[in-house]
Structure 1
């Protein structure tokens, strides 16, 4: 179940990530709560922060993917981790001293968004360099387990700390957590990394786009990921508004709902880690549909307790959706193109947030805090079904495994 942990470099990475990601989730909860405090519980303000934090992905993710194919990923990751730590330090000091303003949070969210947009495709494509193709599905699942374990611990701890000492110290705790991942990267053995051939072409970003366009299964995956991520995966926004405006809850309540969602995603990651065969396209599309339906159900729940309960299966579905997408993408592309393709993937995964978050925040403000969940889930289902219909009509694809590698080939039409 944990075969990828047999690789020393990956053990160092995973250990550092456990600590660092707990701090990251603590900061996310603290930031959302600080924005609600500074804006008078404005859903639009929370949406704007998310747009600023994820907006740079639309501009920087593909160039960052090209960087990942040309330069040392380990050194690039060390630089991005230091940059994110400095953002947390500035916000933590300003908030602790009582000087934080909404404008400061907006500015720091934009800076952090730029760094994160560069970090994401490098981080995702670095996994296969640590473990190789054989252990990649297991490593992707374990990355998700690490992420969601932190997602359980971080919000729970943040909710308690915010109640006791305020949001400022939580940001400072996140600064310290970056030390763990920096130590892990420093102690790695560069000679053990399975580096791919580095790209040198100037048109590398265009080459990445052309590579994706020529592969229908990638187009379907990326289109579905874009729609579900843009409108469906809005939990930081929707759960914060639901807690504060519908259930008149506190930061602890918001942290609890985030933790229940993470319990579901951790369960889904555990199942993914136990799966021996790579994910197939039909698994991905089924998970996307199930997630959309469950998100609508969460939005229709009558009280806080039932929302918390239904977040568990919703979390499991969204984790299955995201890990299936990641495995399909990474195992079906050439190693020399992996960074650029992951740049396109991160653009689809996060690049729509600047559109979806302010829109859903505004809808929640003028209608009901439940609206982002219900609308986002419905859009996810419709988008996934549409992609299935288009795939069946344009070019039916049959995924299978050949010598341990995921292969997707067209199915000839009847009588052809």
Structure 2
């Protein structure tokens, strides 16, 4: 790949501006999930081990270029100190960072206040980017989740400093390259979720790049309806029928097999433990909803996984939040996890619902890589150029 990593940089005695994503959930002033903070630890450790001083640039919430006290990064300090195992000094203003007091110079790690308090950040203002660059000697981007934004701290700053990817960014890019860039074939993609309309670019890109595409969730209903199958009261975008047929035709031309449910789990209400039944795909009653794929569909999906070398997963196969409509997602995820453990499959997954579904199934830890990047992961799968990644390319 055409970007540098920490291995390519001389960090001894250098101030290392490090863009991280520590936009973590907080309740009553306490971080409730420190996953994102823990994932930056390898980069921070590496910078310090190489003689550099990490200066963390990060955002928290969406303050829209104004100081919003409830969105101060100060709330992350204790969680950072615990997860990193280093002293972390909080710097409230850019002026304080520029003055380089004795306190800031002696600190192991510096954390600058929410970068989005400055209007120049999201505007990617060159003057602001240059000012940020003046705080350091080297720039490291470890925030893939913010790489789809052309902001001063993700793109603009690279014009003024030697730049590279941090360990988390490196791992993400290597995993995605293995999944879509130079994958081992056959490649299978699972795409689920509520609506076709939100994943048009994704589906359009994948059918020309993968060998099989499993479509699940509410969007599968739209594809079924486009083929004249009655889906009753199911979530379905009937107005997207022509688009669904175009995607199927594009897949046929590209030699990509589309796998849709052949049997379905239906119910009259969307509630835990609701009365339900398994029916052939064309037998959905007019007053019922399709809420999951059936066991025969799961068996077919497992067979497709068995014949694959690479799996990309984005979105659940059914209404996984409520049992028993989590059966298809759990079963397919468990099978993918078994193949991955056996060394037969490279499995990469991402997206909020996907991570939640795989965690719920107990399969997440076995996957080759799980991205928590959300929008950036989706845009990468759509084949779009991510400004924060492109800016690192040599």
Does TM, scored on the shorter chain, surpass 0.5?
Answer: no
Higher Cα Rg, which structure: 2
- When you count strand as a share of all residues, which structure comes out higher? 2
- When you count helix as a share of all residues, which structure comes out higher? 1
Greater relative contact order, per chain length (Cα 8 Å cut-off, separation 6+)? 1
